[in-house]
Amino acid sequence: MPSDRLRWRDVRATTPFRLTLLLGSVFLVALWATLATSYVFTAHELLARSDQILLMRANALLASPPAALPDRLRAEIANTTPGLSYFALLGRDGEQVVGNVDLPAPPRIGTPYAVPAAPGVHGPLRVLAVRTTAGETILLARDILPIQDLRIRLLQILLVSGLAGTALVVTAAMLLSIGPLRRVRDLERASRIIAAGGLGHRMPIAGRRDELDQFAATVNLMLDEVAHVVAQVKSATDAIAHDLRTPLTRVRATLHRMHQETPLPEAARSVTERAIEDLDAVVDRFAALLRIAELEASGRRAGMVSVDLQMLLGELAELYAPLAEERGVALTIDLRGARRVTADPELLFEAVGNVLDNAIKFTRSRVTLRLRERADVPVIEVIDDGPGIPVDEREAVLRRFHRASGAAGVEGTGLGLAVVSAILHLHGFTLAFGDAAPGLIASIELRASQR
Amino acid sequence: MARILVVEDDGATAEAIAHELRAHGHDVTVAETGEAALAAAQEATLDALTLDRLLPDMDGLALLARLRATGVQAPVLMVSALGDVDQRIAGLRAGGDDYLIKPFAPSELAVRIEVLLRRTQQSVETLLQVGSIQLDLLRREARVRGTPVRLLQMEFKLLEFLMRNAGVTVSRRVLFEQVWNYHFDPGANLINVHVARLRRKLELPDVPSAIATVKGEGYRFDAV
């Protein structure tokens, strides 16, 4: 259950955040692909142009007579723009005859190639080496620093656009998520109030007519119907409560008076006595049913206080110890961890008391009342060594009037566990049955209420 | 004899209540409406009232507030078909001293009235003596014919309540509410066992038990 404060992990889990991030990433990848493609084409074009210039110059030099080459090169060197073009003539022995650059030997003849650096030169060079008919080698080189600069700049653009783009996308995703998330939180808050019995509460509508508003409106419509039905049931229950209880009171009073004051034959006395007992049983069941209905429909929070579980269970054990003793049942108390929970102490006492009463009723020789902590949640366990409840009946015993197959012959209305279930549900606590081999473990998990 | 006002709009129920209270020796007046109840309360000093929550002319809670405002201090037993917990809490918060849910045995109502009457009359006593049993509330000591008896805390409270209401048949429900202060039905066996234990501790040879079981009704403490 999320808290009311917006957290990063809640924001990043939202659909708008994920969608914005996905779209933003696609946009960034497309941007990078465009930049990378334009870089590759531009670099290739620039290189091709350099190579073409080098080839044209090499062909022009090769056209000169070999003897005139040194002078021709000197003239080229003198006329060239400093720092852009370089020339060298190597003799047949590889020694440099003329030149304004010292390139690493041996040169690769025929095809242009790159030289990362040379003495006295700023940047990388594109070099073309050609062989003359006399066996000498002409080296022509061009500075390709602009191409390298272009690559660095493009990489910088990629990096900056990547970082800025990512930041922008994440920011946009957050901004787009927070609004809807806040509204979802409002809806959650409203639904918690409604789930806690606040049937008069409604889902908030922002007035934007978007999907959240449509959803809230649908839920509100449903709530109107539910509230209407609940109100009808409640008024019917109240009417039954009043209109049935008053005549029942009258019948019981008449029977009681007849039993107390009229001289009756013994047989008639025992009949009236049984009638009063039966009437009391009807009234008790009726009261239990109304009580379950009341607990289930209740938004009762008034009785909720911080309860000391050790104290409550200690009192409960004290109350039930004589009953256990009388039935020859060894009642063991094992309470660990001074835990407090928020609960209605009287209702919790009744619920655990009912479970304990059942255990004492059905056990063979012993019952243990235990308080434990499981994953930071206090758990009350009532363990007996009786016949247990078959796995397929463990859910059913929590329903009204259901009695487990092993309960035949034991006094009971089949409403006790339904009352327990209603009480625990009101608190948001849970009851589960397990196998104690032999016997039953009833575990009441007192998870802090989120309702 | 106490003066008791029964406020109840259902004639038959009012009659049954009045009959039972008169059988207990009380002077009973019946009022069927809130206005009649207010008028009756002005006429005489009351010792206790039973008050139905749903009256034809006003809500029992509103009537209770008006009665308290006119200076009626007598203990009030709220009687209602509205049995849910919140209604009971509302009734007690509004100034009711006890709450009884319909349908009830008139004898149960009479017991609760007795308990309320005795609570106001005897609250200052510190030494209770009924027959051969003596209870010193200050020293927390119980004696049977002068012999001290060791009682657990709850047994002491149970005995105190039974002795304060000696001669009155109190139901298990009333015992559980008044002694243990819990308002649910714990089943007959649980209270039986507690009473049986206390009874054994108070036993005297050749003397019937001071705590009698009244079949279908509850228990009664008698002087022995």
What DSSP element (H or E) covers B28? strand B27-31
Q: Measured at the alpha carbon of residue A156, what is the angle toward residues A151 and A159, in degrees to the nearest 5?
A: 125
CB contact residues (below 8 A), chain A span 328-387, against chain B: 346, 349-350, 353, 357
What pLDDT is stored for residue B218 in this prediction? 86
- Residue among A249, A252, A326 minimizing CB distance to B193: A326
Which of B121, B145, B174 is at the close of a domain? B121
**Nearest residue on chain A to B14, judged by CA atoms?**
A250
Domain range for B136 is 125-221
Predicted confidence (pLDDT) per residue in B15-56, tens digit: 888 988 998 889 999 999 999 999 999 888 899 999 998 888
What pLDDT is stored for residue A405 in this prediction? 63
Cβ-Cβ contacts under 8 Å between A and B: the total is: 100
- Is the per-residue pLDDT at A426 higher than 60? yes
pLDDT band at B108 (very low <50, low <70, confident <90, very high): confident
Fold of A1-185: Beta-Lactamase (3.30.450)
CATH placement of domain A305-445: 3.30.565.10
Between residues A234 and A15, which one has the greater pLDDT? A15
- Is the per-residue pLDDT at B75 higher than 50? yes
- Is the per-residue pLDDT at A451 higher than 50? no
Residue B78 is which amino acid?
Answer: M
Same domain, B102 and B20: yes
What pLDDT is stored for residue B8 in this prediction? 92
Same domain, B113 and B161: no
What pLDDT is stored for residue B106 in this prediction? 76
**Average pLDDT of the segment spanning A387-391:** 84
The span from the CA of B100 to the CA of B96, in Å, is 11
Predicted confidence (pLDDT) per residue in B10-26, tens digit: 888 888 889 889 988 89
Same domain, B184 and B79: no
**Given an 8 Å threshold on Cβ–Cβ distance, is A346 in contact with B182?**
yes
C-beta of residue A36 within 8 angstroms of C-beta of residue A151: no
**Given an 8 Å threshold on Cβ–Cβ distance, is A246 in contact with B13?**
yes
**Average pLDDT of the segment spanning A166-186:** 88
Average pLDDT, chain A: 84
Q: CB contact, 8 Å: A296 with chain B?
A: no
- Residue among B89, B102, B180 minimizing CB distance to A249: B102
Report the candidate in A151, A169, A194, A202 with the shortest Cα–Cα distance to residue A44.
Answer: A151
Between residues A397 and B176, which one has the greater pLDDT? B176
pLDDT band at A401 (very low <50, low <70, confident <90, very high): low
C-beta of residue A50 within 8 angstroms of C-beta of residue A58: no
Predicted confidence (pLDDT) per residue in A247-304, tens digit: 887 788 788 878 877 888 888 888 888 888 888 777 777 777 777 776 666 555 556 7
Chain B nearest-CA distance from A234, in A, is 12
What pLDDT is stored for residue A2 in this prediction? 46
- ipTM of the complex, rounded to two decimals: 0.77
Specify the CATH number for the domain of residue B107. Answer: 3.40.50.2300
Same domain, B8 and B117: yes
SS (H, E, C) A386-441: CCCCCHHHCCHHHCCCCCCHHHCCCCCCCCHHHHHHHHHHHHCCEEEEEECCCCEE
Same domain, B95 and B21: yes
pLDDT band at A1 (very low <50, low <70, confident <90, very high): very low
Chain A nearest-CA distance from B82, in A, is 7
Specify the CATH number for the domain of residue B182. Answer: 1.10.10.10
Predicted confidence (pLDDT) per residue in A38-82, tens digit: 888 888 888 898 899 999 999 998 888 888 889 988 998 888 887
**Nearest residue on chain B to A276, judged by CA atoms?**
B216
Same domain, B52 and B160: no
**Average pLDDT of the segment spanning A211-227:** 91
Average pLDDT, chain B: 86
Which of B75, B103, B121 is at the close of a domain? B121
Chain B nearest-CA distance from A346, in A, is 7
